[in-house]
Amino acid sequence: MLTTRLDKVLNWGRANAIFPATFGLACCAIEMMSVVSPRYDIARFGAEAMRASPRQADMLILSGRVSIKMAPVVRRLYDQMLEPKWVVSMGACSSSGGMFSNYAVVQGADKFLPVDVYVPGCPPRPEALIYGIMKLQDKIMGDKAMGWRERYQAEGTGEVEPGIA
Amino acid sequence: MPDATGLELIAQRIRSSLGDEAVTGTSYSRGQATLDVAPAAVYDVLAYLSKGDEEPWRRLMSLHGVDYLPAEPRFGVHYQLLSMERCDRLNVRTRIGGDEPHLPTVIDLFPTVDYQEREVYDMFGVVFDGHPDMRRILLPEDYTGYPQRRDFPMGGEPVLFTFNENQYPRWYD
C-alpha cells in the first residue's frame, strides 16, 4: 500500500518535471524551440528546463530526420541519459523516415532506440508536440503496462526497476 | 561563356599543343561551352587551361560526378572553370568506364578540389589517383557501395497504406 503510494508520488513528480535534452536534429527543432517560447509555453507542463547535457536530461526529443551517420551519436546520447528516460519521436522523419526514403536516413528512429511517443506531422505544430508530451506524462503516471520495456521484451534491463522504490 | 567560335579556337589550341586525341569534342548549347576531353588527357588539358599563357582559366569552381548508366562509358566527371579576368566560364567534361573508374587528381593545379574529389569518390566511386587523402567524406567510413550510382538501390522501406496492407501479412508483429 505504502509502496504503491510512494510510486505514484514519484511518477507524478517525474511526469511534471520532465527535463528535455537540448538537442535539435533538423527543421522540427524550430518547432521544438517555439514550444518553449511564451506563446506555447511548455513550462505549463513542467518541461521547460532544456538541459544541455544528456546526463541531466530525462527526455530526448528526436526533432528531425536521423541520418545514418547521426544514429550512433543519438544512440550514445540516449545511453548517457540516466534512468528513467523517455524518447519522443517528433515528426514523420524520425518516426518512419518520412520523405527521406533514401540511402542516407534511418527509416524510423525506433530501429536503434526505444521510442515512447510518436508525434506525426511534417513538422508537427507546437501544439502537437505539447500533446505528445502530455501523452508521455500520462504514460509516466500510468501503469507499467504502458512502458516500453514490456513492448520491447526488455524487462530487467533498467538500472533501477520502477516500482521497487 | 566563350561563344561557339571561341570554344573551337580553344579546342584547336589544345589540340595543337597536346595532340589531336586530347579533345574528343566540343559542345555549345544554351550559352554553355563544354570541352569533351579524353580521360588520359584531363590533367594536361586542365594544366594547359589554368597555367598556360594563352588561356585565362585560373580557377576551378566545382567538380562533379555523373552516372550516365545505360550509356557507355558510364561515368562522367565535369570540371567547371572560371576566369575572373574575362568574367567567363568553361566546362571540361570527361567520360570514364568500368566498375572502378580512375582519373588523375588535379589537386596540385587547384587545391580546392580536395574535398570535391573526395565527394565524387564517396558518391560515385571514382578514384582520383595521386590524391593525398582518398577516403569517404560525407558517408560513414564503414559504408559499402556508392549511393549516387544509378544501379544503387533506392533504399527506404515500402510505406504501408490501406491498399497494400495485405501485401505485408503480419506487419504489426
What is the count of structural domains for chain A? 1
Residue A154: inside a domain: no
The reported pLDDT for the residue numbered A165 is 44
Instruction: Report ipTM for this prediction.
Output: 0.70
Query: What is the CATH number for A127?
Result: 3.40.50.12280
Residue A37: inside a domain: yes
| CA-based torsion, A109, A115, A119, A120: positive or negative | positive
Residue A40: inside a domain: yes
Residue A152: inside a domain: no
Residue B125: inside a domain: no
Chunked into runs of 10 residues, chain B (173 residues) has average pLDDT values of 83 89 89 90 90 85 92 92 89 90 91 92 92 90 88 75 76 68
Report the residue of chain A nearest B158, measured CA to CA: A101
Residue B17: inside a domain: yes
Band of the pLDDT at A159, cuts 50, 70, 90? low
Residue B148: inside a domain: no
Domain containing B50 equals 4-98
Q: Under 8 Å CB-to-CB from B147, ≥6 apart: which residues?
A: A102, A103, A104, B123, B139, B155
Q: What pTM, to 2 d.p., does this model score?
A: 0.76
**Which residues does chain A have within 8 Å of residue B140's beta carbon, measured at their own beta carbons?**
68-69
Query: What is the CATH number for B69?
Result: 3.30.460.80
Q: Under 8 Å CB-to-CB from B72, ≥6 apart: which residues?
A: B97
Under an 8 A CB cutoff, do A103 and B152 touch? yes
Q: CA angle, A64 as apex, A59 and A67 as ends, to 5°?
A: 105
pLDDT of A60 higher than 90: yes
Residue A78: inside a domain: yes
Residue B103: inside a domain: no
**Which residues does chain A have within 8 Å of residue B143's beta carbon, measured at their own beta carbons?**
68
Residue A155: inside a domain: no
The reported pLDDT for the residue numbered B153 is 82
d(CA B118, CA B65): 11
Inter-chain Cβ pairs, chain A and chain B, closer than 8 A: 31
Residue A163: inside a domain: no
Under an 8 A CB cutoff, do A104 and B139 touch? yes
d(CA B7, CA A91): 51
C-alpha grid cell, residue B155: 533504399
Domain containing A122 equals 2-144
d(CA A137, CA A18): 9
